[in-house]
A and B are shown apart, each in its own frame.
Chain A
Amino acid sequence: MFSIGSLIQYLYFNPITDSKIKVQKDPMKDQYKTKQALSKSELGKAEQALKESEKRAWSILENIQEGYYEVDLAGNYTFFNSSMSKIIGYPAEEMMGMNYRVYVDEENAKKIFLHFNEVYRTGLLSKVDYEQIKKDGSRVFVETSVALMRDSLGQPTGFRGIVRDITERKRMEEALQKSEEYFKEVTENSSDIIIITERNGNIKYCSRSIERYTGYKPEELIGSSALTLIHPDDVNRAVVDFGRAIRIVDSTIPNAFRIVHKDGSERYLEGLGKNLFTNPSVAGFIMNVHDMTDHKKAEEQIQASIREKELLLKELQASKEGFHNIVERETTGIVVTYKNGIIGFANPAAKYFINRENDELVGEQFFIPMRGLDSLTEIDIVRKDGTVGAGELQTIETEWGGESAYLTLISDVTERKVYEASLIKTAEEHKKLDELKSEFIAIASHELRTPLTSIKNAVDIMAKGKAGAITDGQEKFLSMAQRSINRLSTLINDMLNIAKIESGKMRYQYKWIDLRELLRRASNRFQPLADQKTIALCMDIPPDLPIIFGDVDRIEEVLINLVGNAIKFTPEQGTVTIDVHQREAASNRAENVMRYVEMSVADTGIGIPEEHKERLFEKFYQAAHSLEKQDQSGTGLGLAVCKGIIEGHKGKIWYESIKDKGSTFHFTLPLIDLQKQYYYLLESDLLKAKQQIEPLSILLIEVRDLAGLKKAFGEKDNDSLFERIKEKIISGGIKTSDKIAVSLPDHEIMLIMPNTDQTGVQEAQKRIRQYIIGTGEAAGKCSGFLVASAATYPEDGISTEELVDFARGKIES
């Protein structure tokens, strides 16, 4: 029995150059010819043997699975076995003489042609595979061996070979290739890393994905130890695990370790390792790991967020407790009411405030009628000690359980109320006392002056002999009485002044003062007295004295007091000198130089002993008493009044003295910026308003059209115009406590109105406007001439500057 393999071998490697294989039915002419020729030249036995051999070969050919073919040089079938026709898929009768092109497509035809051509050229045996299409249209892959056939002369006559159907093999190959590709694709592209190491840990394979996690390309790693990738802190553990794993075949160990990326960052890998040293296809330790860094990070974040949440929860708990404390224990009553008036919540404080400590209020109608949102309502409450106190109730809109509701807060304001009441009471008492004092002063001055007037009148009548002739003795005593009457009169005036200064009720009539005129009057007044005592009264007055802003009568009083004292305490032949100088004092800020006028009254008297220095300006302190017991003419109030007046004008008063040489009294008066005079005027009134807890308003009137107003009023100069306006304001009906100040340079008039609120000042403004510019047609004509604006303490400002600025701001806007 021939094995197929050996036959094929035979056919492949022993090309039959002149074989005489008979075709079954329709053999080719040439072949017959050859056969005929051969059979003619050979003898019967040989012919018989050959026939037998042919027969055997044929039988073999017919029984093999492989196809056998012979084609001519053009590719037309000349001979083939039945397997061949089976493979090709065409019946034998059709196949004979058929060209190979019939059953292949163009591409395969080309392939076959080139291949056969190659064989033709080289004469070498070769193999080719190609795809062919069966008659039924199905496709098969075939493998063909190709050998060149030659005739007896060695000329190529055609080709022959064995054809095998390799469709199944091809399919399996393709499947394998696909599976390989798939595996490669999977290993290379999967996020997992596959590492195969040698027994010593050196990497012999790693998937491309390793680059993504380590930064190294596989080619950089292959050959080096896998341990070099592992984080130093995890190396020991990895070595131990690996050492254990390589000793046990097929053992699988989990790996979890950190590696160090090429860029230095850490990554966390996790996976499985398997000892596959005995598996020839792997022959190594295979590790399948994946990057858990992000997962780890996410896990850490989750942990952190859990910790954070726990912390928050704790805080929430704490704040809840805090809130609970407030709601349950604190002194603020809290009531939540739904919009329909039903109570949704009430805390213990709220309950005891309304004396319902032991009742459940939820569900009840609210016990206090709403008085509008955000407004404070005062209610009576029951305090913890059982007494009734003052409560303050405030309702705001809120949400309760997702529903809109009212939140009412009840505060115990009893203590505050008590304090407020005591404050008000104190203020009232103070005010009352002050009023009492004023009343006392008014009564005292009236009650003392009235009888004094009678006495004075009576004594004067007698002393002048109008009630009949008087004796020398009578005249002496009457003049004694007259002196005392004058002293008493002065004393009453001084007491009144001191009382007013001390109670802040001294009202200064600020005006522009011509100092020269003031000094001339003082000089005229004292000249007779000085002459009488043969005292020289000297004055040193510079020609360019500035005008000052103050109460001329009061300043004159100070001057009279000081000059009077100087003459009194200066012996005969002495000198009293009055000096006036303008001075400047640097203040802490360079641009804020204080300018002031200093007046001095110097005498050549006995001087004032050092021990009196501290107390000289105190009331009823009379240095003179200890010095000159016989002189009883002082009241002990003069210097105290002087000090009060000067300080009231924001000046200073002091003295220097040398015993037996004389004393010099100085006082200063600030030169007030025209712009600032209002502030000086306002300040004392504002202080009083603050002390008395009273409002105070100012009304600032600015003349816009000076010329127009002058024409309308028929006035020629500004002074007379402003005097006229002042008169009009007065006749407009102002209170006796109101003050008027005029600032000519600013064309402004300010009306200071103590104890006048915003409504009051608005009414006054309206009234004054009518008085100044009239009503109806006249008003229309003059309406642009004046503008007025008010400011009220405490609403519009609490300092003089603020009030004036507020009023000015309104005018300007």
Chain B
Amino acid sequence: MDKKKVLIVDDEVDIVETIKFSLELEGFECLEAHDGEEALAKARKENPDLILLDIMLPKMHGYKVSRLLKFDEDYKHIPIIMLTAKAQESDVKLGQETGANEYVTKPFDMDKLITLVKQYLD
């Protein structure tokens, strides 16, 4: 059985690294992107099974990446879990409106994140 592909998008390399480490331990294949444009390009090219998407990204905002994918018939099926350090209500609302499936506030509990990812991929 093919490994499920998770695209991890964060400009903070350390965060990508720790998530990647944890997910790979769980048997997922991980792809990385460090800005919005790269995220969009990788998502379209690799067609991942799930995307962990930071909001505050260089080049292109996480919201925009999410919206572009969610409004694209070819990619709207990909679950998106938004990660953000912002914890304002309006952010939550915006995250939901851009079509993201989940919303996780930093700092998050890695175990909870893994559980969430597994919910979408199992």
Contacts and interface: CB of A to CB of B under 8 A. Distances in A.
B85 A737 contact: no
A589 to B, nearest CB: 36
Q: How large is the interface on A (under 10, 10 to 19, 20 to 34, 35 or more residues)?
A: 20 to 34
Interface string A465-506: 011000000000000000001000100010010000000000
A442 B17 CA distance: 24
Contact of A737 (B12, B17, B90): B90
A507 B87 CA distance: 12
B106 A452 contact: yes
Contacts of A460: 109-111
Contacts of B56: 446
B22 A453 contact: no
Given A452-B106, A456-B107, A493 B87 contact: yes
A509 B89 contact: yes
B19 interface: yes
A507 B108 contact: no
B46 interface: no
A453 B106 contact: yes
A445 to B, nearest CB: 6
Contacts of B41: none
B1 interface: no
Given A485-B107, A736-B93, A736-B94, A453 B15 contact: yes
B21 A452 contact: no
A518 interface: no
A450 B21 contact: no
For the complex of A and B, the 6 pairs showing the least CB-CB separation, nearest first, are A457-B18, A454-B14, A449-B85, A736-B90, A446-B85, A453-B107
B90 A467 contact: no
A693 interface: no
Interface string B13-40: 0110111011001000000000000000
B83 to A, nearest CB: 8
B118 interface: no
A458 B14 CA distance: 8
B61 to A, nearest CB: 13
Contact of B22 (A449, A461, A493, A736): A461
Interface of A: 442, 445-454, 456-458, 460-461, 466-467, 485, 489, 493, 496, 507, 509, 730, 736-737
A450 B12 contact: yes
Contacts of A445: 85-87
Given A446-B86, A457-B19, A461-B22, A452 B107 contact: yes
Given A453-B85, A489-B107, A507-B88, 15 more contacts: A442-B88, A445-B87, A446-B56, A450-B106, A451-B14, A452-B106, A453-B15, A453-B106, A457-B107, A458-B14, A461-B18, A461-B21, A467-B21, A507-B90, A736-B90
A767 B106 CA distance: 36
Given A446-B56, A457-B18, A466-B25, A730 B97 contact: yes
A461 B86 CA distance: 24
A352 B97 CA distance: 63
Interface residues of B, number: 25
Of A460, A485, A496, most buried by chain B (CB within 10 Å of CB) is: A460
Contacts of A467: 21
Contacts of A452: 106-107
B64 to A, nearest CB: 15
Contacts of B109: 460
A304 B56 CA distance: 91
23 contacts: A442-B86, A450-B12, A452-B106, A453-B85, A453-B106, A454-B12, A454-B15, A454-B17, A457-B14, A457-B18, A457-B19, A457-B22, A457-B110, A458-B14, A461-B18, A461-B22, A461-B110, A489-B107, A507-B88, A507-B90, A509-B89, A736-B93, A737-B90
Contacts of A453: 12, 15, 85, 106-108
A442 B110 CA distance: 23
Contacts of B106: 449-450, 452-453
Contacts of A458: 14, 18
A557 to B, nearest CB: 12
A78 to B, nearest CB: 156
Contacts of A489: 107
A456 to B, nearest CB: 5
Contacts of A456: 107, 110
A446 B105 CA distance: 10
A485 B106 CA distance: 12
Interface string B47-83: 0000000001000000000000000000000000000
